[in-house]
Structure 1
Amino acid sequence: MTGSVQERPYSQYSATAADVVAPMTFIVPQATKPVLYSQAYTGGEPEFGFETVERHVLVADMRAADGSFTLDREGFALRTAPTAVEDLYDDAEVESAYYAEVRSLLKTELGASEVAIFDATRRSDGGDGARNKDGNRGAATRIHVDYTAASGPQRARDVFGDETFENLLAAGRRIVQVNVWRPIVGPVQRSPLALADAASIRSEHLVATDQLFPNRTGEIYHLAYDEAQRWYYAPDMTRDEILLIKGWDSLEDGRARFAPHTAFQLPSQTDETPARESIEIRTYAVI
């Protein structure tokens, strides 16, 4: 979203051998509010109450920026952060050792006093997807933001409780929703993540969409296409690297609040290319 945070020229990061032009899936705006019926709601594949359109866009190599992307300017950041957890498919190990690593990492990265973790999701674009407690998950192939201006604070209320949430804001504390995305195996050579520079996203192109679950209705953003949008990815991500992705920020002072992202197909990938396997941890950091 446009604001006071300084923007940088797209051309500065669009001249490396790893830059690609690839198709990505955007929502088609409509008169009524779009609805997404989740896998948990349908009991099978998710269902979509809206149309999408595929556009070919330039996805630039973010490594050319030499690590200078930030959560507050672009809405995402690439970091080297090795994990001591050997098996990221082991739920017990993830919820103990890996959660502790994530909390420590975000406290250091953001200067957070508290990090609340409320979800872990594995994804794969191979076979039936990656195993999770609530079923298998494939790669997310529609451009989206996990939360909106309405659902970001509501989910924080659910996590912290209404009273604690209100007390934090009343005390002048900042609350930021951050996803920590890591390859389970590497290097990633199929279905990497593309991320949009938040400064290149106009608010009218963020389309609020109801997401239906069996016991609640959430809200996410899908993204409509605009040629001014700037896209990046990190080629050949390894298991020792993570992407930090902002989903919501309680501050509205011109800094990035939402970072649209999606899995996309590399022109070089084939059916024989090893499947992408990843794990994402959803958090709220209190600063």
Structure 2
Amino acid sequence: MDISAELCFCTKDEPIHKVEIPYLLTYSLEGVTKSNLAFEAVDNIPVLDVRKHSLTYEDHGIQLEHIDSKMMYDDWQDSQKIEKVFLREARDTIRKVVGHHEVYIFEYRVRRRPKSFPYLAGQVVDPNAPVPVLGAHIDYCESDSVDRIEVIFKERAPKMLARSYQFLNLWKPLRGPVKDCPLALCDPKSVDFQNDTMLVQSVNTTSVGEFLSLHYNTSQRWYYVSEQMPWEALVFHGYDSRTPKAPGVPHAAFVQDHTVPEDQARESIEIRAVVFLDEDANESLEV
């Protein structure tokens, strides 16, 4: 069903950003503030049920797809089973959405809500922590996508960068129905890319990445899947090398029900992948 919810956004026009680049440290460094970002919680935002509104990856960058999996619930504790079994299932599901292109999965994260969650609005949370992420964001941008391909493919990177490619995500719960912290996704056609997004540096111990944080705009159209089940996967667009200035799909977790017991806390897995869209099949890509 369609609902209204509270979503969290990065605030706009912070004075500190006139003298400092927006940043987020993914580790603790003595004497250095973890981040110079500030967040606001915006209440009563309409969040439409994907089940009632037909969305396709081609038209909206968002698609709900059935996923067949041999994974049992206890298997999600076994990283080897995830990598040998589920990543291949995820690749097949992505191909059902985007077509039979070359798909390379380069990262996955299993997230579980701890007892201390949700955190207070405005609190900066390590994006690498395995918890639902409340701040609305887009995982990819033009510069970071190039950097990712250079890191992933190393000496093959120049050849891969010459091809057409997309970055995208696949997200599904490990158990259901999800009544606690579902994932909200924003139709990118409703995003004012220039005014609604802010480039943020994600500073790691050995590298600096970039992602886009989202400011709130009343024109944004948000969606979620009511009572999403483990065999239902959301596949959503992140970046396309053919249209580098077009936004990917902003997304964020939100607290739908504060009364959900701990044994029903949301557990999910997120897959990040790059898809090569041209017909050059000379490179053999494995999951």
| Smaller-chain TM-score bracket | 0.7 to 0.9
Residue identity matched to 2:132: A
Q: Distance in 2 between matches of 1:253 and 1:223?
A: 17
- Which one of the candidate residues 139, 151, 156 is aligned to 1:164? 156
Q: Distance in 1 between matches of 2:211 and 2:85?
A: 30
Deviations 1:150-180, CA, capped at 9 Å, x for gaps = 212221222123x53432453xx42111111
Q: Distance in 1 between matches of 2:78 and 2:172?
A: 15
Matched residue of 1:101: which SS? helix
Equivalent residue pairs, number: 255
Q: 1:189, 1:269 within 8 Å by CA — same for their partners in 2?
A: no
Shift in Å, 1:72: 3.3
| Structure 2 partner of 1:95 | 83
Q: 1:209-228, aligned counterparts within 5 Å?
A: 209-228=200-219
Q: Distance in 1 between matches of 2:25 and 2:206?
A: 12
Residue segments in structure 2 that go unaligned for 5+ positions in a row: 118-127, 278-287
TM-score (norm 1): 0.82
What is the aligned-residue RMSD (CA, Å)? 2.3
Q: 2:63, 2:235 within 8 Å by CA — same for their partners in 1?
A: yes
Percent identical pairs in the alignment equals 29
| Structure 2 partner of 1:146 | 139
Deviations 1:90-144, CA, capped at 9 Å, x for gaps = 1000111111112222233212432111111011223378xxxxx8511101001
| Structure 1 partner of 2:42 | 55
Change (3 A) 1:220 1:122: same
Deviations 1:220-265, CA, capped at 9 Å, x for gaps = 11101111000000010001010112221111188x6410000001
Change (3 A) 1:43 1:121: farther
| Structure 1 partner of 2:95 | 107
Q: 2:63, 2:97 within 8 Å by CA — same for their partners in 1?
A: no
Q: Distance in 1 between matches of 2:189 and 2:101?
A: 27
Deviations 1:24-83, CA, capped at 9 Å, x for gaps = 111112334311111xx2289x93311111112111111102xx3122332221111121
Q: 1:82, 1:239 within 8 Å by CA — same for their partners in 2?
A: no
| Structure 2 partner of 1:24 | 7
Residue segments in structure 1 that go unaligned for 5+ positions in a row: 1-17, 130-134
